Amino acid sequence: MQTPHNLISIRPLYYQDAKWIALYFTYDAGIVKKIKGIQGRRYSQTHRCWYLPCEETPWLQFRTLGIPYVIEKSTGPSGTADCTRSQGDHTGKVSTEGGTQSVISEDGEGRIADNKVKPEEDLMIIWNNQYFQIRPPLSGDDVTLIKSLAGSWWHAKYHKWMVRSSPKNLEALQRHFACWDKEAYEKIYELVSARMDPVIVQLYTTPQYCKSFIVKIQGYKADFQFLKSLPDRQYDQDFKRWILPLNSNIVNRLKQHYEGQGAKVIDRLPKEGQSYLPTPVSFGDRQQRLLTKYGAGHYEIIKEYTDALLRMRYSWNTVSNYTGALFKYLQYLGQVRLEDTTANDANVYLSSIAKKRVSESLIHQAVNAIKFYFDKVKFVSDFQLEKIQRPKKGSYLPTILSIREIDNILRSVDNLKHLAIIYTLYGGGLRLNELLSLKVTDIHWDRNQIFIRSGKGKEDRVVMLSHVLKTLLVKYFDAYQPTYWLFEGINKKFQYSEKSVQNVIKRAAKKTGITRRVTTHTLRHCFATHLLDNGTDVRFIQELLGHKDIKTTLIYTHVTTSRVTAIKSPLDALNLCPER
């Protein structure tokens, strides 16, 4: 209970193995001046009170001052560091005659100090940042109140209640026990609130504001006045964020100001000169590993073969796959030199692997590897390349999902980042590696375009940026704040992994009950087919997909519904009723 103004509350104080007379009162310069005239008086910064020696002379000097006072009962040698209540009090309130008031300790840890309160005599509440610790005795009403608080539990080992530290729980404890005076309560409330809701300042960019950067501030008593003092600032009411010119001086001033206030500054702005790629491994190092893998027996051939592939700037996947296919052919030949073989020998080898349960693509890969050697690496005059026989090319139609199925997949995804990935794959008809290679700067916001760099065949192209995708990307940038790559991995520096994207698509399709095999490329097929269904010219679709040959794009004419549904089945002309 707070002491009335100009009324001194007198309590015994046990300090340094001695008993003292503690004087508590609301600060008053006149009273302080009078107390300073008392013999042996001292001030305790820890207990926030003046105290006198427990002797007759100082006590008589105090009484002659004529200041009104009230003497409170002792609650044991606890001083005034804890929220305590006499054992006989079961009302749940601290009276001016029985209880003592607590203060914040000066140990720098923001906790209520524990000065050896005897738990068998007093109720005690200690705050230690994470919890309020409450020791018995307690009445039934006390226990009911504590159990109702969020995050409360009984610590059997130490025989005390643990209540999660939060402003709401602090308010409930104060209403019920009334154990802190106003000054102490406000100090604890400040510390609890700051710990539960610390000030965090986030800096990031978004293609929506390409010449600006975004500032988001959250936390208890966050300082917004500094932002209001900066020139050319804007405030986005929808996302509760500030938009400032992308200027290094403004960025440095802002960081210095908030770091000086103890706020946590999360800087997600792109750093000039910083690499956002894993440490590159040179093709030379990769080649040496490959040569070691296939042993010394075929070193010269493999070395000459990989040199040609690298010289012609084939991708590393092609280098690795072709080399593996050629090595298997070398193993098949045994001691026979590769230069001494003919096209017939190659066909016999292809027949041997075709008899096994292998895919057509593996046979095609073997053909390509052998033909590359005799065409680009070693010229043999009597080796007739045209006589190497390939498997008959099949005509396979891609898996196509309906618009409704695509809609169900999109609605089944809850994670915002996963949703943005699927929207981008389907909305632009992207390949998986094209999606993962997208940078934040590749989103041309004002032009409604996505710039695809070095797609298949090392060709750049531009696809549309859907209005729906833009709306989603606004939320995505606000939540994830990517720095360089549009879709970052878990370390928030390098690209998202291929496996993770594939798993996202797989889980979404399974969740919607689609039994057909759905991959990232399925969304690309659906993009092209749905455009064709809506009447888009196939030549435009070819450009959007990045196909070199129109024949590749024409495959979607076999799965489009625009022509098939326009033809009436002869079965419909019979006017049969299936119910008969």
Residue 89 pLDDT > 70: no
CATH code, 431: 1.10.443.10
pLDDT at 159 over 70: yes
184 plus 204 within the same structural domain = no
For residue 263, the domain's CATH number is 3.40.1170.30
Residue 23 burial by CB count (10 A; 0-12/13-18/19+): exposed, middle or buried? Answer: buried
Indicate if 322 and 436 belong to the same structural domain.
no
Judge contact between 424 and 482, C-beta under 8 A. Answer: no
Q: How confident is the model at residue 57 (pLDDT cuts 50, 70, 90)?
A: confident
Range of lowest pLDDT (142-151, 282-291, 432-441): 282-291
pLDDT at 96 over 50: no
Q: In this structure, is residue 438 part of a structural domain?
A: yes
User: Stretch 250-263: mean pLDDT, rounded?
Assistant: 91
205 and 179 within one domain: no
The pLDDT of residue 448? 94
The pLDDT, as a whole number, for residue 436 is 93
Look up 357 and say whether it is catalytic.
Answer: no
Q: Which domain CATH number covers 323? A: 1.10.150.130
Looking at residue 108, its pLDDT comes to 36
233 confidence band (pLDDT: 50, 70, 90): very high
**Residue in the block written with tokens 């894993």:** 278
Sheet strands (E) in 237-337 = 241-245, 264-267
Known catalytic residue at 547:
yes
Tell whether 383 is covered by a domain: yes
Whether residue 176 is found in the same domain as residue 47: yes
pLDDT of 269 over the 60 cut = yes
Q: Which of 521, 539, 548, 568 is catalytic?
A: 521
Phi/psi at 245 (nearest 5 deg)?
Answer: -60, 140
- Is-catalytic flag, 5? no
* Model pLDDT, residue 579: 64
Element (H, E) at 289: helix 283-293
The confidence score (pLDDT) of residue 519 equals 94
414, pLDDT greater than 50? yes
pLDDT given at position 201:
95
Based on the fold, state whether residues 440 and 305 are members of the same structural domain.
no
Q: Does 323 lie in the same domain as 239?
A: no
The DSSP secondary-structure symbol of 346 reads H
Cβ proximity of 22 and 12 under 8 Å: yes
**Model confidence at 25: pLDDT above 60:** yes
Residues 118-147 pLDDT 10s: 333 456 788 887 899 998 778 888 899 999
Tell me how many domains the chain contains. 4
Measured between alpha carbons, how far is 263 from 190 in angstroms, rounded to an integer?
15
Q: What is the pLDDT of residue 370?
A: 93
179 and 37 in a common domain: yes
pLDDT above 60: residue 2: no
For residue 131, being part of any structural domain is answered with: yes
pLDDT at 422 over 90: yes
Last residue of a domain, one of 355, 387, 419: 387
Q: Are residues 449 and 535 in the same domain?
A: yes
Which among 341, 361, 387 is the end of a domain?
A: 387
Rg, the chain, Cα only: 39
48: nearest Cα among 27, 73, 70: 27
Tell me whether residue 350 is in a domain.
Answer: yes
Phi and psi at residue 347, in whole multiples of 5°? -65, -40
pLDDT band for 187, please (50, 70, 90 cuts).
confident
Q: Is residue 569 part of a domain?
A: no
Residue 297 has pLDDT above 90, yes or no: no
Asked whether the predicted pLDDT for residue 256 surpasses 90, the reply is: yes
Q: Is the pLDDT of residue 6 over 80?
A: no
Establish whether 521 is a catalytic residue: yes
Q: Quick one: pLDDT at residue 74? A: 44
Last residue of a domain, one of 267, 285, 319: 267
105-114, 131-140, 568-577 — which is least confidently predicted? 105-114
What is the reported pLDDT for 469?
95
Closest CA relative to residue 181, chosen from 189, 50, 374, 386: 189
- 89-98, 466-475, 492-501: least confidently modelled range: 89-98
Residues 92 and 12 occupy one common structural domain: yes
Same domain (yes/no): 374, 497? no
Q: How confident is the model at residue 466 (pLDDT cuts 50, 70, 90)?
A: very high
Q: Please state, in angstroms and as integers, the Cα–Cα distance from residue 244 to each residue in 235, 236, 253, 333, following that order.
A: 9, 11, 12, 69
The active-site residue out of 48, 85, 524, 525 is: 524
3-state secondary structure of 155: strand
Per-residue pLDDT, 523: 95
Please say if the pLDDT value at position 238 is more than 60: yes
Query: To the nearest whole number, what is the mean pLDDT of the chain?
Result: 83
Lowest mean pLDDT among 86-100, 182-196, 501-515: 86-100
CA distance 551 to 393: 14
Residue 306: which domain range?
295-387
The confidence score (pLDDT) of residue 282 equals: 82
Residue 425 lies in a domain: yes
Indicate the range of 33-47, 496-510, 558-572 predicted with least confidence: 558-572
Whether residues 71 and 220 fall in one domain: no
392 assigned to some structural domain: no
Q: Quick one: 93 and 137 in the same domain?
A: yes
Average pLDDT for 254-270: 91
Section 4-19 average pLDDT: 74
Top pLDDT among 280 and 241 is at 241
Residue-level pLDDT at 73: 53
Low-confidence winner among 223-237, 445-459, 518-532, 557-571 (lowest mean pLDDT) = 557-571
Question: HEC profile for 89-140?
Answer: CCCCCCCCCCCECECCCCCCCCCCCCCCCCCCCEEEEEECCCEEEEECCCCH
Name the active-site residue from 456, 461, 493, 511. Answer: 456
What was the pLDDT predicted at 88?
34
314 assigned to some structural domain: yes
Residue 558 among the catalytic residues = no
**What are phi and psi for residue 542, nearest 5 degrees?**
-60, -45
Instruction: Select which of 431, 496, 525, 530 is catalytic.
Output: 431
